[in-house]
Every structure is written in structure tokens, then in C-alpha cells.
Amino acid sequence: MSMERIGVVGCGLMGSGIAEVCARAGCDVVVREVEPAAAEAGQARIHKSLERAVAAGKLDDEAREATLARLSFTTDIGELADRELVVEAVVENESAKVEVFSMLDKVVESPEAILASNTSSIPIMKLAMATQRPEHVLGMHYFNPVPVMRLVELVPSLLTSDDARSRVESFATDRLDKRVILSQDRAGFVVNALLIPYILSAVRMMESGFATSEDIDAGMVEGCNHPMGPLALADLIGLDTTMAVAESLYEEFREQLYAPPPLLSRMVDAGLLGRKAGRGFYDYSRR
């Protein structure tokens, strides 16, 4: 079964990026959002991303227009009925994702269609069991910004068929030109199981007064040749997403290194979510 007709549920930072790379690869893409305003914001985000690609010489005007012509936006989940692959990219919340998968199972018509989740940490089995087709459910975790970052984590559950995994791996590798790594269905998968404890350690270091955010980040950038320090990275990811992943990891493994520090919880409660809110560990309002 080919993968020419792609659906994306959610058009935030991740959903818009996933929709863009699929459309740039020649696929017909339908993006579903809950409200028209959210769909319009996602569409504007894609337009801006494509403009940057043209300005950087990575895309010409003709390719940009062709990409936009392959994209359509809707608030009706029923318009995903004929899709061959649907990627869920809603908020990192288990109940919200389970609800989406339950709805997709009812509306996506082909029994061979694959339902994938861009979750950062939620066990795929929990999403698969919300459907009557768990053998066609897997994790397809992209990284931000999706048009730039080549990595995709594929996460089959215990019930995902070899055929479904192989088809999605071929699509990501051959069609989207992504580098694919495989992970078992464990909270956090490969990248976040390693990354989140590192970020939380930096938060605890700052919280304890051990060092400032600037010095912690400078230490890792200048001393370890990281492109970005852990606290700036948390701001980029979003502190709410960082905490959600940490909570998922802690729930599964019950290891202290995954427990969100009090400072992180308070910042999320205060709406200091990082770049998208204008303020996190750093103030972006004047940048």
C-alpha cells in the first residue's frame, strides 16, 4: 500500500512541521485542527517556514507553490477518512492522544492504513489499545524543527506488525529523507530517556544555587561542544512538554532522576513555558 495521502492531527510546532515535510516530499496532506484559528495559525507557520527555505536557497518559488497546493486544512476529522498514514501531533497528554486514536479508528476507512503518534514519551501500547487495529499503530517521533532535524524515532508496540513498521520506515527513509532509529516501546524511547534526566539535572543545579542558568549553559556549550545548553534547550522544547515527558518517564520507571524538580513544576504553573511563552529560564520578549 502506497503512502501518498497523509493526514496530520494537530498543527502546532510539530504538526505543522510534519505536514510541511510530507507535502514537500510530494504527498497530498490533510491537516486537522480543532478550531479554525488554530488551523490558520498552523498554515501561517508553514508559509513562514517555506519562505525561510526559499530565502536560504533550499527551495525555489515553484516548489514552494507546489508544496502549498498539496496542503489542505480542516476542523472535520472525517476528512481523514481516505488517508493511508495519519500522524497524531496533539498536546503531550495521554488522555488527549487516546481520544484522538479512538476517533481515528472510527473514521479512517482502510484497514491497512497506519495510525502513528508523534508522542515524545507516552507508551504506544496505550494508544494502540484505543483502536481495533493495534497491529497498525506505532510511534513516529519527529524532532523540532521538523524540516531541519533529520531524525525520526520509530516505536512499534508489542502488537505492531512487521509490515506496518517496515512500510513506515521505508516512507520516512526513502520519501522524507529522514534518519530512522528504532526503539522498544518504553516511555521516553531512546532520545528522551537520555535527554530528560540531563535537562532535569541542570534544573536542579540552578534551583540549588550551584550555578546560574547562563553559566550552566555556557559550560555545556563551551566545555562539551553542545550546540545549546540544557536550560536553553528546555525553553526551546517547552517547559510544559519537558515536564510531561519527565512525568511519563517517572510513572513508568519510578527512578528519581526522572522526577520533575519543584522549580520546573512552579514555572509550568506560572505559564513560564519557554520560547513559545516569551519567558522560561530566559526572557525572550526583548530578543
Instruction: Note the CATH architecture for domain 195-276.
Output: Orthogonal Bundle (1.10)
* pLDDT value, residue 19: 98
Name 85's bridge partners.
Answer: 6, 114
Q: What angle (nearest 5°) sits at the alpha carbon of residue 17, between those of residues 16 and 20?
A: 85
Q: For the residues of 29-50, what is the DSSP string, one character each? A: EEEE-SSHHHHHHHHHHHHHHH
Selection from 262, 257, 206, 198 nearest residue 233 by Cα: 198
Bridge-based pairing state of the strands 137-141 and 28-32? unpaired
What pTM, to 2 d.p., does this model score?
A: 0.90
Angstrom distance (rounded) from CA 160 to CA 243: 28
Q: What is the pLDDT of residues 140-183, one digit of tens each?
A: 999 989 999 999 999 999 999 999 999 999 999 999 999 999 99
3-state SS, residue 17: helix
- Residue type at position 128: A
- Residue type at position 226: H
Angstrom distance (rounded) from CA 28 to CA 114: 16
Q: What percent of the chain has pLDDT over 70?
A: 99
Domain 5-182 - what CATH class?
alpha beta
Q: What percent of the chain has pLDDT over 90?
A: 96
Domain ranges of the chain: 5-182, 195-276
Q: What is the pLDDT of residues 23-46, one digit of tens each?
A: 999 999 999 999 999 999 999 999
Number of Cβ atoms within 10 Å of the Cβ of 98: 16
Same fold, 5-182 and 195-276: no
* pLDDT value, residue 1: 64
Give catalytic residue positions.
Answer: 120, 141, 153, 192
Name 179's bridge partners.
Answer: 151
For residues 231 and 216, is the Cβ–Cβ distance under 8 A? yes
- Helices 13-24, 61-69: axis angle to 10 degrees equals 110
